[in-house]
Structure 1
């Protein structure tokens, strides 16, 4: 194993200042037998956690750092000129200080770029190693512009801020004046005893990427590539042998690389989850609070239901769920969600009936988090909370126009510093890359559009994949040297992170000030955002709550307000009769403009062919009007079965109660769970596990599950042939079955909007114009 690694490295998360993909970086480091790999992106820590996790995966040490922008005076100065300084975290304390510095650079010091100053460095220097950076570092810059003495003074100042942890950075960058500056730095080291370290300011992975990197810089600056001065082709991830050759005249600079690697030992494996602190208002524990609120809520629900139910069945189900929730330590989660949903409803903010898997929970129903009866619609808690795989997120839809009020409530309740949005990293897509590179290479718009039109219409298509699939595109590359150059650059830049934005629906809440744990920034609207995306935050033990703004809930809200203004009876939207004649007449006629998810021409045609006669038909329609079902003709089969044009048969009599509402077809994931329970004695949790295995279709696991199902079914008295036939049916349908929980909840919104349109057409149409046409 080599003792060298690159300590100054810009990945694609430097946003137009680097084009190294993190996986490629780690792979190359392993190929070179390097003991560690670092990340020092420009002014941010966007990719830090990804590098950390990927390096661990590759079995090498991650070194987390940042090349910060340093204001010559104070961050309050409005001067766009900045020096560069590389900071590396030695340990957890150093990482926290790096996080604080980078966050402050964005939150307090931003002026064109995030900036820090020396006072901030002094405050947060512990646990950090500092390198004097590139030619734009203060020491190097002063050497080039003001002379040795000025540079020496700056170096000594850094050495006092970072005692025994400041290094003069010698680079093998190939830039003009680099060799001369390196010589002066060596002279300074000899005079002061300040240690030197060898780096290369890596911006791209291989020498062949130099022109692609130049194109990337031109895209950012809106310059022509042929006008760009490619100062160096040496800013690549050089091998240890190349670096040893570059610095053969200065072996101590290489030896110090090993010293720094040994000093850096960051461990980010947090032992705990960072949960929001919920304080019980009536009981002395979270579990007791949850039980009390749930039981009270269910009593109120049952008292208002417009249909008869078995009260004991509902409370038995609730007790069973609460036992699991409390045993698994998840009471806090339900209480937090219940709190903000209840707050929203108390302020007249319309909340959706649920989405995803949460409508399968009686606890969520009792707390008012969801609005559909899980027993009436045969929804299962085990689909939502499987103790083997954990609790699924509870995502909540709010009135689009008032969703921000809920965000603000949470920020006030838990503290502005304890609630942040996750980042989302947006990668450049094939057509965007083709257009951008074409522009900087001077291609005409018509020429670029002609090329982009050859890209196949496929989700996730890359330039490389398009070249494989489209002969006309390959011919362009083969026939024209300039086109070959163009497409080569495009392939190298394709799928690089292009910019960062805010998660559209999520907010992370903690019981601690997040600026101590997470690098933050604020956007143009002053929202506080984590520099990590949700995937990174989840791995660090943080919790995200999703609030989705739905315009159709705004439509419902506006319609109800107009009904009230017009002094008409306002309907109880949570307890509408689900067999309303006017509503089904409207649906049968395809008069669904403004009706949630039933507006498209294709959906209208399917709706009219189906002629729904019950709410279960609408649930099924939401499930089958999806690509996997449509491509296999299951929508047509369902409609024929409903109208008696195709006979309905069941593989076993016990399956009729399960498949009757879908006319013998397996449409819902929950039906797979029921079949496994009924015919083979699986628990609902085991049935959910089987359902997931069937959906993945992994050959070895499938064979094991087939044998297990058939044996368990035979143990319950089923013959071999029938058991095998049922398993094959489950296997066939598993890959495209849909969550009934989600379908029921969204069908409820569809029904609610259809009901309002059927009974209050004047108010509905006015609200529709207000919400969607801004009238």
Structure 2
């Protein structure tokens, strides 16, 4: 038969989350191939994909029909969902025109903001007031009319159908037929045809599309299993009992509806009714209300002039130069209509600073604007650092300016609330983002559904490349030899990969943009559908689509470093010092740069990674310009291109710096003749090539896209312009070639400069106020044991004392105490801020009354309903009550009686029963708590105390069980945990350490089902690493592995792991490792050690054996030489011998060596 005119009007995409398996681009392509001139999108309860469909379909010549399959509550959207009393049904709505589009936005938004309970729901009341401009189809099997038919309630079905017909209009309501092969659908269809005959309501054919091709039904079924957390093999799980919900062609639809051709042609009637044109290219920026008769233009002029004189007033020449730049920028801002935009940003930052919320000095290309600088939006002088306004905004680039703002993480929510208050709650929202099924995630999800053994899934997932630039799963399967081999191992692996490839990249869940906020001049619901996430209102469309609509998007970023800086300044003042002005720090501070060169950068903004530490050591920065360059250079492009090597050689005078033309020298001088920044490319193009700065910005963008035809055009323009400016054609071409080679790696100097200021601020505070800086960092990282431990280690290396937690002196956060830092109670696991505040109030009251402080006294004063027993126990374990001199085990034993006595005394106080002499009721000091005997059976040993301490703090503070034999562990280890990040995956290594968090698991499926495997962390004095023990290895260890045992682990470093992790091959005791060792001792001697040779020989003689001893000594020529001791001094290597040698020459100068 001929292909009928038909378009699909009931279509689900990936935005019917974990239900639809269609990508919108694929749907549009299918329309084009089948010559369907329109397509609708009707995702479940949302319009997440509507704008994507509109743009994709329109650009392909396909008419987009925006719709939604809404959830219609039986009674009220405001009442909770109840399947029997207030269940929901499906209804298909389509926007015919602008009025219908606005109503659909309203309906889909209100379903979230007023009707969300399990699903976003509306009700008939709301629908009746928002039906204008909408076309309505009666829905799938889950539609209310079909549900009536399936219950043989034909009268109710007819009543509802006529209600919908009257509501939407007889030309805009259709009875929806689907022929999907489901038995009950056939019954519903027969009833719908009879109803159409009785009522003259037209029939319409749809196919409820959930996947593209018929064979994709299996992948979509797996997707449903991921959604419902079911295994595919389960019999009673939710599933679609059909494989027909695919994109049927016109021919295929004609075949299944050959008896009802008018149901097919009805789809064309709907499509022809649709007349919706969305407006792009117009900006919707709220008008800034000044609050006075002053216009926004006048206010901007006044604020710029005031800022100009404040920042440049001491230098008349500087004022003139800056005024010229500011006037140029204001002209562009006025022409583009962005005056209110700048004032909105100015006002937000002004409000934040006035309310004590730290704001960053700038971010991104906005730091290149002199107007932003004099307004106080940024704090970097763009004239001083050759930053360009055109990199930020120019009339040749028609797009909204983008000023991202860093706020203190503690103040971001307050700024967001101010924005809502200032511009209206209805006009402000956060921005949706979509979490997608990334390659590793989808493999794990599909593996669970297919019941592939976890061990196999883990092995496969870890082989898959991860990261922002990682290849797709399909690409990896074509090129990765390991994955190709794994795929062939078993049929279920082939199936796992096939499903994973099909599902990779699909939307999995919604979230909100970490920083994005949209502000509109009118209620947002007029522009974009809204949803809710974690109690916050957000747009249903992501940032790019909001920008395309011309809405004002801003990024409010919570930057932890700003909080740290603010707290550090407070700490300095609390110690009686004078907090430095962070905007006017001494330039070139020697202590700061010495510290940076040494790689002492824990907590220094942007410089904490091992790679950065290595780069600092190579570059040896000695000025602020070097820091700007370092932040720009530490990226894959410069690292791989050799640019960094050239920069280092030139900075240190190892390579001559040559400038091919005088106009280039001032542009490249600060970077030793290297092109490091995009702004340098723009300035060279402008100064030498004769480009306008607008053209130079276009060149910058073209370089990023690397399109040869565009670059060839710019090459001719540049060479021609350079020749006009006095360069020879040869020199001009050489400069262009250099721009092409390195300019593509150039970084945004404006952003690098602004962030380099924060880098310098943190580095300066660390170098000159270390205790205050450490306390601030540890306070901001209290929820991360690993970060607190890292700063603890940093303090130890710098000999800054960290005083343990102590209820007499500690606060909730870490505080400065003398030249050291006092541990914060908030970093103790098992405490809560409310409980600690209550305890501290009790402590302060006791101190004010000059009463003794102990556990019993605090129990009597604190509110037992606020401070639970677990909190007390955590404080005891952490050592916060050590000041009484009582063993921690005994304190735990006394705790219940102390709490009971405290409750009694609290009740007495409440009843007004004071002591005999009228004073407050207080407990009698106990002999145990105040210096009595500690030889109680409940006292903890040193090992038990340390174990409990680690449980409460996450690591050891008052000591470490490995410290006594630290030197021996160093001898037996080929690597420390802190060095694992530098090793390549698959490396074989040996680490001596402590087993922590040992957990045995039962393998649930696969060939190893029923056998035990284990996981733990192996801890040395530098840190810890995750270790996996597979069944065969675990069984071979014969009980060597247990919590808190010391082992020497032979292991392999896992490949493709996001953080270092080990696979255990063998665990040995210390004695076993030493006996197995086939080698000798190397003793490093200093000149001053010669007098200890006799004692060393005596130590060797105490442990005679066959292992040779070598001495490492300095020769007269300054070179180290290894000298073997006589055979008489051969030894048996034991822990005792190692400790004796360490006692004589110190740690770090004794190691094992293989023969």
Please give the range of the TM-score, normalised by the shorter of the 2 chains.
over 0.9
Q: Is the 8 A contact 2:72 2:122 kept in 1?
A: yes
- Classify the secondary structure of the residue corresponding to 1:385: coil
- In the TM superposition, 1:346-361 aligns within 5 A as 346-361=354-369
- In the TM superposition, 1:295-310 aligns within 5 A as 295-303=305-313, 310=318
- Larger mean CA deviation between 368-377 and 700-709 belongs to 700-709
Decide whether aligned partners of structure 1 residues 283 and 651 sit closer, same or farther in structure 2, where only a CA change above 3 A counts: farther
The answer to whether residue 375 in structure 2 is matched with residue 373 in structure 1 is no
The answer to whether residue 168 in structure 2 is matched with residue 162 in structure 1 is yes
Find the counterpart in structure 1 of residue 872 from structure 2.
none
Residue 277 of structure 1: which of 270, 287, 292 is its match?
287
1-side partners of 2:579 and 2:198: how far apart? 85
- In the TM superposition, 1:322-337 aligns within 5 A as 322-337=330-345
Residue 582 of structure 2: which of 560, 564, 573 is its match?
573
Q: CA deviation at 1:10?
A: 0.6
Residue 687 of structure 1: which of 683, 690, 696 is its match?
696
Find the counterpart in structure 2 of residue 205 from structure 1.
212
1-side partners of 2:706 and 2:30: how far apart? 33
Find the counterpart in structure 2 of residue 45 from structure 1.
47
Q: CA deviation at 1:309?
A: 6.6
Find the counterpart in structure 2 of residue 66 from structure 1.
68
TM-score by length of structure 1 reads 0.97
Q: Is the 8 A contact 1:273 1:541 kept in 2?
A: yes
- Larger mean CA deviation between 117-126 and 648-657 belongs to 648-657
More helix by share: 1
2-side partners of 1:605 and 1:685: how far apart? 38
- Per-residue CA distance 1:433-481 (angstroms, 9 max, x = gap): 1111111111110121222233234634322112111234334445644
Find the counterpart in structure 2 of residue 633 from structure 1.
642
Find the counterpart in structure 2 of residue 383 from structure 1.
391
Q: Is the 8 A contact 1:132 1:169 kept in 2?
A: yes
Q: CA deviation at 1:694?
A: 3.1
Residue 512 of structure 1: which of 504, 522, 529 is its match?
522
Decide whether aligned partners of structure 1 residues 176 and 709 sit closer, same or farther in structure 2, where only a CA change above 3 A counts: same
Q: CA deviation at 1:361?
A: 0.8
Find the counterpart in structure 2 of residue 103 from structure 1.
109
- Per-residue CA distance 1:126-158 (angstroms, 9 max, x = gap): 111111111110010110114312222221222
The answer to whether residue 474 in structure 2 is matched with residue 464 in structure 1 is yes
2-side partners of 1:150 and 1:418: how far apart? 42
- Per-residue CA distance 1:65-86 (angstroms, 9 max, x = gap): 1111111111233214311100
- Classify the secondary structure of the residue corresponding to 2:245: coil
Q: Is the 8 A contact 1:174 1:232 kept in 2?
A: yes
2-side partners of 1:658 and 1:552: how far apart? 31
The answer to whether residue 201 in structure 2 is matched with residue 194 in structure 1 is yes
1-side partners of 2:69 and 2:335: how far apart? 46
Find the counterpart in structure 1 of residue 245 from structure 2.
235
- Per-residue CA distance 1:23-73 (angstroms, 9 max, x = gap): 000000111111101100000000011011111011011111111111111
- In the TM superposition, 1:73-222 aligns within 5 A as 73-78=75-80, 79-80=82-83, 81-164=87-170, 165-222=172-229
- Larger mean CA deviation between 207-216 and 532-541 belongs to 532-541
2-side partners of 1:283 and 1:629: how far apart? 53
- Per-residue CA distance 1:90-109 (angstroms, 9 max, x = gap): 10100111111111111111
Q: Is the 8 A contact 1:2 1:34 kept in 2?
A: no
Unmatched segments (≥5 aa) in structure 1: none
- Per-residue CA distance 1:404-458 (angstroms, 9 max, x = gap): 1111110100000000111111210111111111111111101212222332346
- Classify the secondary structure of the residue corresponding to 1:226: coil
2-side partners of 1:104 and 1:127: how far apart? 17
Q: Is the 8 A contact 1:277 1:510 kept in 2?
A: no
Q: CA deviation at 1:363?
A: 0.5
Decide whether aligned partners of structure 1 residues 88 and 380 sit closer, same or farther in structure 2, where only a CA change above 3 A counts: same
Decide whether aligned partners of structure 1 residues 717 and 57 sit closer, same or farther in structure 2, where only a CA change above 3 A counts: same
- Per-residue CA distance 1:347-366 (angstroms, 9 max, x = gap): 11111111111111110000
- Per-residue CA distance 1:386-408 (angstroms, 9 max, x = gap): 22114541111111111111111
1-side partners of 2:671 and 2:485: how far apart? 51
Find the counterpart in structure 2 of residue 314 from structure 1.
322
Q: CA deviation at 1:593?
A: 1.6
What stretches of structure 1 move > 6 A for 4+ residues in a row? none
2-side partners of 1:339 and 1:176: how far apart? 63
Q: Is the 8 A contact 2:595 2:601 kept in 1?
A: yes
TM-score by length of structure 2 reads 0.65
Q: CA deviation at 1:116?
A: 0.9
- Per-residue CA distance 1:239-272 (angstroms, 9 max, x = gap): 1111111111122211211111111112112573
Decide whether aligned partners of structure 1 residues 271 and 628 sit closer, same or farther in structure 2, where only a CA change above 3 A counts: closer
- Classify the secondary structure of the residue corresponding to 1:680: coil
Q: Paired residues, what number? A: 772
The answer to whether residue 62 in structure 2 is matched with residue 55 in structure 1 is no
Residue 533 of structure 1: which of 513, 534, 542 is its match?
542
Residue 247 of structure 1: which of 254, 257, 272 is its match?
257
Find the counterpart in structure 2 of residue 483 from structure 1.
493
Q: Is the 8 A contact 1:456 1:470 kept in 2?
A: no
Find the counterpart in structure 1 of residue 555 from structure 2.
546
Find the counterpart in structure 2 of residue 399 from structure 1.
408
The structure whose RCO (Cα within 8 Å, separation 6+) is larger is: 1
Find the counterpart in structure 2 of residue 294 from structure 1.
304
TM-align CA RMSD: 1.8
Q: CA deviation at 1:287?
A: 1.8
Decide whether aligned partners of structure 1 residues 538 and 178 sit closer, same or farther in structure 2, where only a CA change above 3 A counts: same
2-side partners of 1:748 and 1:475: how far apart? 50
Decide whether aligned partners of structure 1 residues 559 and 766 sit closer, same or farther in structure 2, where only a CA change above 3 A counts: same
Find the counterpart in structure 1 of residue 728 from structure 2.
719
Find the counterpart in structure 1 of residue 1131 from structure 2.
none
Q: CA deviation at 1:308?
A: 9.4
Q: CA deviation at 1:493?
A: 1.0
- Per-residue CA distance 1:309-368 (angstroms, 9 max, x = gap): 722112222122112212222111111100101111111111111111111111000000
2-side partners of 1:451 and 1:584: how far apart? 45
The answer to whether residue 225 in structure 2 is matched with residue 223 in structure 1 is no
Decide whether aligned partners of structure 1 residues 124 and 460 sit closer, same or farther in structure 2, where only a CA change above 3 A counts: farther
Find the counterpart in structure 2 of residue 588 from structure 1.
597
- Larger mean CA deviation between 493-502 and 626-635 belongs to 626-635
Q: Is the 8 A contact 1:357 1:392 kept in 2?
A: no
Q: CA deviation at 1:713?
A: 1.3
- Classify the secondary structure of the residue corresponding to 1:41: coil
Find the counterpart in structure 2 of residue 747 from structure 1.
756
Q: CA deviation at 1:653?
A: 2.8
Find the counterpart in structure 2 of residue 500 from structure 1.
510
Q: Is the 8 A contact 2:77 2:122 kept in 1?
A: yes
The answer to whether residue 8 in structure 2 is matched with residue 6 in structure 1 is yes
Find the counterpart in structure 2 of residue 671 from structure 1.
680
Unmatched segments (≥5 aa) in structure 2: 784-823, 825-1155
2-side partners of 1:594 and 1:488: how far apart? 44
2-side partners of 1:54 and 1:105: how far apart? 26
Residue 770 of structure 2: which of 753, 761, 765 is its match?
761
Residue 715 of structure 2: which of 700, 706, 709 is its match?
706
